[in-house]
Amino acid sequence: MTPVEPETKKRSYATVITLAGLLLVVLLTCVPYLVSIAAAEQPAQDNTADASPIFGVTIPQGYKQWELIAPAEEAAPLDELRAVLGNQTAVEAYQAGKLPFPDGTILVKRAWKRKQSPEFASATIPGAATTVQVMVKDSKKYGSTGGWGFGRFINGKPVDEAQHRTCFACHEARAKSRDYVFTQLAP
Ligand code: HEC
């Protein structure tokens, strides 16, 4: 048996306690910071009042700066101008002609009332914004609706659950062969 000198033992205890103390300080400093980063990176699907019923989809930040996939028009009674925009993942998939769309794809459809240009009678310009509609691809989370989560918003607030029950049915009935997406890249 090697006798352990009490002094050495005491010193090593002291070292362990110091190290544990340091570790605690580091953790206490970093954890709130890490939590805030995690919270900032996860805004899209939070269960807040601004998330759609059923799917928990929110309006993605910065979507107004996204690239145009295609414009569209809707006849009366809605009588709207529309523009479908996509995030970077969507744009790359469209350009590569890739189907199904990869997870992380987000498509946003903006819509406005039609308005006659005050400067030029035959020109139509966007009037009041009506709805913002969002489709988010997450094949695991939204497996029962073709991998897509849906959100429809008026003045930034999601519409009711009944309306959200209609989204997939129509997209499935008419656009199933293109991964439930109607809009094609404008030529
Ligand atoms: C009755 C059919 C119908 C229903 C219901 C419907 N959509 Fe669509 N959706 C379309 C059509 C058609 C387009 C093509 C663009 C256009 O004509 O405005 C479209 C386009 C979209 C797009 C752009 C991507 C694409 O597929 O072209 C999004 C996003 C979208 N819809 C979201 C929704 C959401 C969210 C709901 C439910 C609240 C919904 N849609 C319900 C018919 C429908």
Quote the ligand 1 centre to 167 CA distance (angstroms).
Answer: 7
Same domain, 125 and 88: yes
**Shortest-distance Cα residue to atom 13 of ligand 1:** 182
Same domain for 71 and 134?
Answer: yes
Specify the 3-state DSSP secondary structure of 69.
strand
Q: What is the pLDDT of residue 49?
A: 84
Q: How is residue 72 written in tokens?
A: 């569209």
Question: Greater confidence, 14 or 162?
Answer: 162
Q: Flag whether 186 is in a domain.
A: no
Q: What is the pLDDT of residue 127?
A: 97
Q: Ligand 1 atom closest to Cα of 82?
A: 18
**pLDDT (0 to 100) of residue 44:** 47
For residue 54, tell me if it sits in a domain.
Answer: no
> For residue 104, how many C-alpha atoms fall within 13 Å in the half-sphere facing its CB?
6
Judge if 15 and 95 occupy the same domain: no
The whole-number average pLDDT for the span 160-167 is 98
Kindly state whether residues 122 and 69 are assigned to the same domain.
yes
Mean pLDDT value of segment 74-80 = 95
Residue nearest to atom 7 of ligand 1 (CA): 167
Q: Does residue 66 have a pLDDT over 70?
A: yes
Local confidence band at 22 (pLDDT 50, 70, 90 cut-offs)? confident
Task: Report the pLDDT averaged over residues 94-107.
Answer: 98
Q: What is the mean pLDDT of residues 125-136?
A: 98
Dist. CA 43 → ligand 1 center (Å): 23
Segments forming the whole domain that contains residue 91? 63-178
Dist. CA 178–CA 25, nearest whole Å: 54
Is residue 102 domain-shared with residue 158, that is, in the same domain?
A: yes
Domain harbouring 74, CATH code: 3.50.70.20
Give me the mean pLDDT over the 157-174 stretch.
98
Ligand 1 centroid to residue 101 C-alpha, Å: 16
Q: 136 CB less than 6 Å from ligand 1?
A: no
What are the strands of the beta sheet with 67-74, ordered from one edge? 67-74, 80-86, 106-116, 124-137, 148-154, 157-158
